[in-house]
Structure 1
Amino acid sequence: MSRPGTTGYGSRTRALVDRGVVAVTMGWADNNGVLRSRTVPVERLADAGRTGVGVTPLFAVFDSHDRIVFGPPGLETPSGDVRLVPAAGPEGIVPCAGRHGLAWSPGRLVAADGAPWPYDQRGVLERQVAAAAEAGLTVRAGYEIEFALYTDGDGEPPVPAFTGPVYGPNALVGLDGFVTRLLADLRDNGVPVGQFHAEYGPAQLELSIGPADPLTTADRQLLARQTIHAAAAAHGFRACLSPLPTAHSAGNGWHLHSSVSRDGTNLLARGDGRHGLTADGAAWLAGLLRHLPALAGVTAPSVPSLHRRRPGSFAAAYMVWGVENREAALRLVPANPRLGAAHANVELKASDASANPYLALACVIGAGLAGIDEGADLPDPVQQDPATWSDDERAARGVAALPVTPAEQAEALAADPVITGVLGEHVTAALRAVRASDAEFAEGKPVDEVLAAFRYRY
Structure 2
Amino acid sequence: MLDHTTQADTLDLDLAANGVVGVIIAWADNNGIPRSRTVPIDQFTAATRRGVGITPLFAVFDSHDTITFDHPPLATPSGDIRLLPITDRIVQLAGQPAFAWAPGRQIAPDGTPWPYDQRTALERQLARAADLGITLRAGYEIEFHLSAADDPRDDPRPVYDGPSYGPVKMLAVDAFAEQLLRDLNRNGVPIGQLHGEYGPGQYELNIAPTDPLTAADHQLLTRQTIHAAAHHHGLRASFAPLVTPGHVGNGWHLHTSPSHNGTNLLSGGDGPAGLTPQGAAYLAGLLRDLPAITAITAPSLSSLQRLRPGYWSGAYTCWGIENREAALRLIPSTPLLGPDHANIELKPSDAAANPYLALTAVIAAGLAGIEDRLAPPGPIQEDPATWTDQQRADHGIHRLPTTVQQQLRALHDNPRIRAALGDDLIDAFRAVRTSDADRAADLDPAAIIRAYRWLY
Q: Does the pair score TM above 0.5?
A: yes
Structure 2 partner of 1:169: 167
The 8 Å contact of residues 6 and 49 in structure 1, kept in 2 or not, is answered as: no
SS of the residue 1:183 aligns to: helix
SS of the residue 2:302 aligns to: helix
The 8 Å contact of residues 159 and 172 in structure 2, kept in 1 or not, is answered as: no
Structure 1 partner of 2:231: 233
4+ residue segments displaced more than 3 Å: none
Which residue of 282, 285, 289 maps to 1:287?
285
Map 1:183-222 to 2 at 5 A: 183-222=181-220
**Can you list the C-alpha shifts for 1:67-105, whole angstroms capped at 9, x where unaligned?**
001132521201110000102x2x321000021211100
The whole-number CA distance in structure 2 between the counterparts of 1:404 and 1:262 is 36
The whole-number CA distance in structure 2 between the counterparts of 1:197 and 1:164 is 14
- With the length of structure 1 as denominator, give the TM-score of the two structures: 0.97
Structure 1 partner of 2:110: 113
**Can you list the C-alpha shifts for 1:99-118, whole angstroms capped at 9, x where unaligned?**
12111000111000110000
Which residue of 90, 94, 97 maps to 1:97?
94
The 8 Å contact of residues 258 and 347 in structure 1, kept in 2 or not, is answered as: yes
Structure 2 partner of 1:130: 127
Structure 1 partner of 2:17: 18
The whole-number CA distance in structure 2 between the counterparts of 1:398 and 1:169 is 42
The range that moved more, 266-275 or 355-364, is 266-275
Shift of 1:157: 2.9
C-alpha change, 1:154 and 1:422, in structure 2 (3 Å) is farther
SS of the residue 1:184 aligns to: helix
Shift of 1:36: 0.6
2:114 corresponds to which letter in structure 1? W
1:142 paired to 2:139: yes
The 8 Å contact of residues 73 and 426 in structure 1, kept in 2 or not, is answered as: no
Structure 2 partner of 1:360: 358
Structure 2 partner of 1:40: 39
Shift of 1:8: 1.8
Map 1:389-400 to 2 at 5 A: 389-400=387-398
CA RMSD of aligned residues (A): 1.4
Structure 2 partner of 1:60: 59
Shift of 1:154: 5.0
Structure 2 partner of 1:271: 269
The whole-number CA distance in structure 2 between the counterparts of 1:154 and 1:284 is 49
Structure 1: gaps of 5 or more residues: none
Structure 2 partner of 1:86: 85
The range that moved more, 224-233 or 386-395, is 386-395
Which residue of 305, 311, 315 maps to 2:313?
315
Structure 1 partner of 2:413: 415
The whole-number CA distance in structure 2 between the counterparts of 1:96 and 1:7 is 17
SS of the residue 1:159 aligns to: coil
SS of the residue 2:349 aligns to: coil
Structure 1 partner of 2:422: 424
1:435 corresponds to which letter in structure 2? R
1:84 corresponds to which letter in structure 2? L
The whole-number CA distance in structure 1 between the counterparts of 2:295 and 2:117 is 18
C-alpha change, 1:56 and 1:123, in structure 2 (3 Å) is same
The whole-number CA distance in structure 2 between the counterparts of 1:425 and 1:86 is 25
The 8 Å contact of residues 6 and 50 in structure 1, kept in 2 or not, is answered as: no
Structure 2: gaps of 5 or more residues: none
The whole-number CA distance in structure 2 between the counterparts of 1:246 and 1:311 is 17
Structure 2 partner of 1:246: 244
The whole-number CA distance in structure 2 between the counterparts of 1:335 and 1:445 is 45
1:209 corresponds to which letter in structure 2? I
The whole-number CA distance in structure 2 between the counterparts of 1:310 and 1:301 is 14
The whole-number CA distance in structure 2 between the counterparts of 1:250 and 1:272 is 37
1:315 corresponds to which letter in structure 2? S
The 8 Å contact of residues 9 and 45 in structure 1, kept in 2 or not, is answered as: no
SS of the residue 2:364 aligns to: helix
The whole-number CA distance in structure 1 between the counterparts of 2:173 and 2:374 is 48
Which residue of 326, 348, 351 maps to 2:349?
351
2:9 corresponds to which letter in structure 1? G
The 8 Å contact of residues 56 and 82 in structure 1, kept in 2 or not, is answered as: yes
SS of the residue 1:212 aligns to: coil
The range that moved more, 57-66 or 406-415, is 406-415
**Can you list the C-alpha shifts for 1:407-453, whole angstroms capped at 9, x where unaligned?**
11111111111111111011100110000001111112121111111
SS of the residue 1:211 aligns to: coil
The 8 Å contact of residues 121 and 359 in structure 1, kept in 2 or not, is answered as: yes
SS of the residue 2:74 aligns to: coil
SS of the residue 1:220 aligns to: helix
How many residues are matched?
A: 452
2:252 corresponds to which letter in structure 1? W
1:299 paired to 2:292: no
SS of the residue 1:54 aligns to: strand
The 8 Å contact of residues 61 and 433 in structure 1, kept in 2 or not, is answered as: yes
Shift of 1:156: 4.5
Structure 1 partner of 2:180: 182
The whole-number CA distance in structure 2 between the counterparts of 1:355 and 1:297 is 9
Shift of 1:348: 0.3
1:44 corresponds to which letter in structure 2? Q
- With the length of structure 2 as denominator, give the TM-score of the two structures: 0.97
C-alpha change, 1:139 and 1:154, in structure 2 (3 Å) is farther
C-alpha change, 1:7 and 1:205, in structure 2 (3 Å) is closer
